[in-house]
DNA sequence: ATATATTTTTAGGCTAATCTAAATTTATAT
DNA sequence: ATATAAATTTAGATTAGCCTAAAAATATAT
């Protein structure tokens, strides 16, 4: 079985691969995992030897199929536990990340399958991220960043791109939650900030905030 | 914070102390934890240095107050997670031990307090063991071993002394569960086996089985 | 095209938790 | 009371995962 540490490496490589199709650099991984580049090199050699990554000296690293499978299972567990914490234990969406980081390593697929059923087979976690099924299949979603909506267009909030505590708490303060309907009333050329009507309430959001909100267009 | 390993040592010392008031021996710990005596000695020195155990060379070890506090918190977490697994995820009582062994190390008291409330503040785990409250207080219970009942006395099953998979599955096969009412109809002098009426059904149990069942007397 | 900067790897070490084998201490039995 | 057995500790190694400092490879800028 993959150790706690190995699971975290695979998850990190998976996660960084989302934004970088060509593969992941040693330094990017070191940053992400809070370790030093030398440590990453050591581990990549081991993961490579165990058939979990494709690694060649000085080149970007990618996951093998086996590596992807393990990473997706960790992501699945992480997101299901987050749903549990929010839906059943009433935690807020900005409070669950660290606990889920631990719970994701509990080693029982039977447990996680039963948890999934107990939670009524949720398809998305509290931040709107999709939950892989037991075969690692992720439901694809046609969500876009709020910045892509033009003036006059309507949408509803489906997720957040940045799930940092700070951003989630900012959204709480603004009373924004998943499912909220909104209309883009105006975009200021100067700083690309937007005037929005969210659930009937007029609010102004910076471009940065809008980039970090995913929406579905309402035709 | 105590590491996963340290937590397991403290829990083991706590657990073995239940049956041996004077303290725990190095070999007993090695057996219980599946490691070698030399390893135990090393660790006891560290735990002693950290104020978690009272350790003197060649003498039985006991937990300090701080050690007891940590051990009880682990026990609390273990038992609450077991209740969750059985009550909410429909696992059987012989299936939950290994998962709870992992879940007990999840590091959040807030999580465990919320879990407790979610489970309606259970006082006992699925094997009848008491769940320490958040201050480490355990509800004392006047349960006795079934072997202490005399012929003609009645009781109901409150717990198991041995919670091995094997014993629990044996009980399942015999349709015995916590709460069952029973009457001691006869005790055979020869092997101390008992004829019992359990929930109206006549059954014979060996002395070993009776020793491992806790009951409350019904006057 | 070459010097400089950046990234990555190598080499050598550290710590926690484990092991085996040998030495020491304590317990037991005659 | 002393020999023997059992339990415990010490000494010296190992492995996983991490580190720093130096070397090597790759990328960038003039």
Question: Residues A2, A70: contact at Cβ < 8 Å?
Answer: yes
Pick the closest to residue A26 from A71, A1, A60, A73 (CA basis): A60
Place of tokens 């809008």: A210
The CA distance from A30 to A13, in Å, is 11
- Helix, coil or strand: residue A176: coil
Nucleotide with smallest C1' distance to residue B41 CA? D9
Q: What is the pLDDT of residues A60-118, one digit of tens each?
A: 999 999 999 999 999 999 999 999 999 999 999 999 999 999 999 999 999 999 999 99
ipTM, 2 decimals? 0.90
Q: In terms of C-beta density within 10 A (0-12 exposed, 13-18 middle, 19 or more buried), how is residue B53 classed?
A: buried
Question: Residues B125, B82: contact at Cβ < 8 Å?
Answer: yes
Contacts of A201 (CB under 8 A, 6+ apart): A175
Q: What is the pLDDT of residues A14-58, one digit of tens each?
A: 999 988 778 899 999 999 999 999 999 999 999 999 999 999 999
Cβ-Cβ contacts under 8 Å, A90 against chain B: 114
Which of A88, A99, A115 lies closest to B108 in CB terms?
A: A99
Report residue B55 as tokens: 């350790």
Cβ-Cβ contacts under 8 Å, B115 against chain A: 89
Phi, psi of B218 (to 5 degrees): -105, 120
Smallest CA–CA distance, residue A77 to chain B, in Å, is 13
> CB B115 to CB A89 under 8 A?
yes
Q: What is the pLDDT of residues B3-56, one digit of tens each?
A: 999 999 999 999 999 887 788 999 999 999 999 999 999 999 999 999 999 999
Protein A36 CA to nucleic acid D15 C1', in Å? Answer: 20
- Do the strands B154-160 and B181-187 form a parallel or antiparallel pair, or are they unpaired? antiparallel
Say how many residues make up chain A: 219
The CA distance from B89 to B85, in Å, is 5
The CA distance from A124 to B112, in Å, is 24
Task: Identify the segments of chain B with pLDDT beneath 70.
Answer: none
Side-by-side strand order, sheet with B144-145: B144-145, B213-218, B154-160, B181-187, B194-198, B201-205
In what helix (H) or strand (E) does residue A1 lie, and over which residues does it extend?
Answer: none
The CA distance from B64 to B55, in Å, is 10
pLDDT of residue A76: 98
Question: Residues B82, B100: contact at Cβ < 8 Å?
Answer: yes
> CB A91 to CB B99 under 8 A?
no
Scanning every residue of chain A, which has its alpha carbon at the shortest distance from the alpha carbon of B118? A89
The CA distance from B72 to B61, in Å, is 17
pTM of the model: 0.92
């Amino acid at each position: 079985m993959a150790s706690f540490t190995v699971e975290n490496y695979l998850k990190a490589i998976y996660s960084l691969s989302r934004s970088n199709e060509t593969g992941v650099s040693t330094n990017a991984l070191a940053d992400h995992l809070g370790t030093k580049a030398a440590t990453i090199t050591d581990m990549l050699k081991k993961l490579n030897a165990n058939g979990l990554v494709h690694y060649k000296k000085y080149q970007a690293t990618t996951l093998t199929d086996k590596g992807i499978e393990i990473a997706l299972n960790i992501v699945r567990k992480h997101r299901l536990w987050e749903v549990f914490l929010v839906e059943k234990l009433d935690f807020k969406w900005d409070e669950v990340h660290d606990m889920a980081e631990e719970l994701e390593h509990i080693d029982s697929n039977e447990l996680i399958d039963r948890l999934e059923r107990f939670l009524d087979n949720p398809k998305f976690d509290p931040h709107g991220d999709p939950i892989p099924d037991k075969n690692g299949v992720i439901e694809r979603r046609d969500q876009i960043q709020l910045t892509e909506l033009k003036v006059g267009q309507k949408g509803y909030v489906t997720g957040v791109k940045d799930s940092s505590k700070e951003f989630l708490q900012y959204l709480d303060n603004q009373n924004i939650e998943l499912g909220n309907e909104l209309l883009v009333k105006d975009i200021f050329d100067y700083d690309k900030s937007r005037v929005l009507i969210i659930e009937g309430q007029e609010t102004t959001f910076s471009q940065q905030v809008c980039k970090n909100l995913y929406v579905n267009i309402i035709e």
